[in-house]
């Protein structure tokens, strides 16, 4: 999980999802997750995944990188699927695609939204200490990543991480983590102090208007559509035979977005710039 790259994608992009309001993107994610929770239909889950894949292509961010970030939960889902294996591969596929759908929807939010916007949108739902903690934690991750980079280099240069000397390596590595904790705390305390001096009082600034804009229409409509399909199949099981049409449409949407981005020669453009 490359947090630095995710932050870069969120701040550097200019796609329709980057421009959409954080509040409505959160609703979109909630709708997709709700539909993933409701449905157990493999075809629908596969269709949702393909539609989300089309979204990834349209963001013009590096496709494989985003997909690989969002595929991480599939590893544990696979373990879960193996544990519940009853000879029916559809059942295992459902577990894996539930993981992939929910993760890809969430990752789409994170790679298209700067983190202060996400935390600001969550502010009404969470206690103040948690929102402040979220903000400071996210900031501290970058402090730690920089410190870890220097630490690993220093350990290697001084022979602290030598192949074959496992116990010595663990001791050196652990002392390094202890050092990171102490140094990171000092830096985080200083950072927080500077923020307080500059007027930060624990409240995140309202960055966007609450009104539904036309740029929010696509994620909201797709979210509602996906949830409606799941609910329809849940309420009347015989309706799920029509999911095959959703599957065809999702394949077409992927083909369309691929050709559209190739025609525009804009694949991965935001990353390259």
Partner 1 sequence: MSHMHIPDGVLPFWLVSAGWIVTLAILYISIRWSSGIKLEQKLPLIGIAAALMIVGMTLEIVPIAYHINMSVIAGIVLGPALGFIAVFIVDLIIAMFGHGGITVVGLNTLIVGAEAVLGFYLFRACLSVLRRGGISIGFSSALAALFSLMLSTSLMIGIVHISQINPSEALHNDVQNSGQSIVSHERGYLYEDSNSQNRRIDTVRFAKTVLFLGIFGWVLEAAITGFVIGYVSRVRPDLIFSKAT
Please, which of residues 42-61 interact with partner 1 by CB under 8 A?
Answer: 43
Q: Between residues 125 and 263, which has the closer beta carbon with respect to partner 1?
A: 125
Are the beta carbons of 135 and 116 closer than 8 angstroms?
yes
Which CB atom, from 63 or from 138, has the smaller least distance to partner 1?
A: 138
According to the binding rule CB under 8 A, does residue 70 interact with partner 1? yes
**Interacting residues with partner 1 between 242 and 261 (CB under 8 A):** 244
Among 20, 46, 52, 104, binds partner 1 (CB under 8 A): 104
144 binds partner 1 (CB under 8 A): yes
Residues 207-236 that bind partner 1 (CB under 8 A): none
175 belongs to the binding site for partner 1 (CB under 8 A): yes
| 125 lies in the binding site for partner 1 (CB under 8 A) | no
Nearer to partner 1, 180 or 269 (CB): 180
Burial class (CB in 10 A: 0-12, 13-18, 19+), 54: buried
Query: Residue 39 in contact with residue 233, Cβ under 8 Å?
Result: yes
Q: Binding segment for partner 1 among 7-15, 97-105, 204-212, 265-273 (CB under 8 A)?
A: 97-105
Rank residues 16 and 173 by Cβ distance to partner 1 and give the closer one.
173
In whole angstroms, the minimum distance from the beta carbon of 226 to partner 1 comes to 13
Query: Nearest CA to 204 among 111, 102, 135, 104?
Result: 135
- CA separation (Å) from 49 to 42, 53, 134, 202, 220? 11, 6, 29, 38, 16
**Separation between Cα atoms, residue 31 and residue 38, nearest integer Å:** 11
CB 58 within 8 A of CB 250: no
| Alpha helix stretches (DSSP H) within 158-207 | 166-197
Of 185, 245, 256, 262, the one binding partner 1 by CB under 8 A:
185
């Amino acid at each position: 999980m490359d947090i630095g790259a995710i932050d870069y994608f969120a701040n550097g992009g200019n796609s329709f999802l980057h421009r959409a309001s954080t509040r409505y993107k959160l609703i979109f994610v909630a709708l997709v997750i709700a539909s993933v929770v409701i449905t157990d239909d493999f075809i629908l889950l596969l269709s949702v995944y393909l539609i989300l894949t089309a979204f990834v292509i349209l963001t013009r961010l590096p496709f494989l990188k985003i997909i690989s970030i969002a595929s991480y939960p599939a590893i544990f889902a696979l373990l879960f699927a193996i544990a519940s294996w009853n000879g029916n591969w559809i059942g295992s596929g459902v577990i894996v695609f539930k993981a992939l759908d929910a993760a890809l929807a969430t990752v789409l939010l994170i790679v298209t939204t700067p983190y202060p916007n996400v935390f600001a949108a969550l502010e009404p739902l969470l206690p103040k200490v948690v929102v402040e903690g979220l903000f400071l934690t996210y900031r501290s991750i970058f402090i730690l990543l920089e410190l870890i980079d220097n630490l690993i280099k220093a350990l290697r240069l001084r022979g602290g991480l030598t192949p074959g000397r496992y116990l010595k390596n663990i001791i050196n590595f652990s002392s390094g983590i202890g050092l990171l904790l102490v140094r990171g705390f000092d830096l985080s305390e200083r950072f927080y102090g500077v923020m307080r001096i500059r007027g930060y009082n624990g409240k995140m600034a309202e960055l966007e208007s609450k009104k539904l804009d036309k740029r929010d229409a696509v994620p909201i409509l797709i979210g509602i559509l996906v949830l409606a399909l799941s609910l329809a199949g849940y309420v009347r099981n015989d309706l799920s035979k029509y999911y095959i049409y959703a599957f065809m449409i999702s394949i077409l949407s992927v083909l369309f977005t691929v050709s559209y981005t190739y025609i525009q020669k804009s694949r991965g453009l935001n990353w390259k710039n």
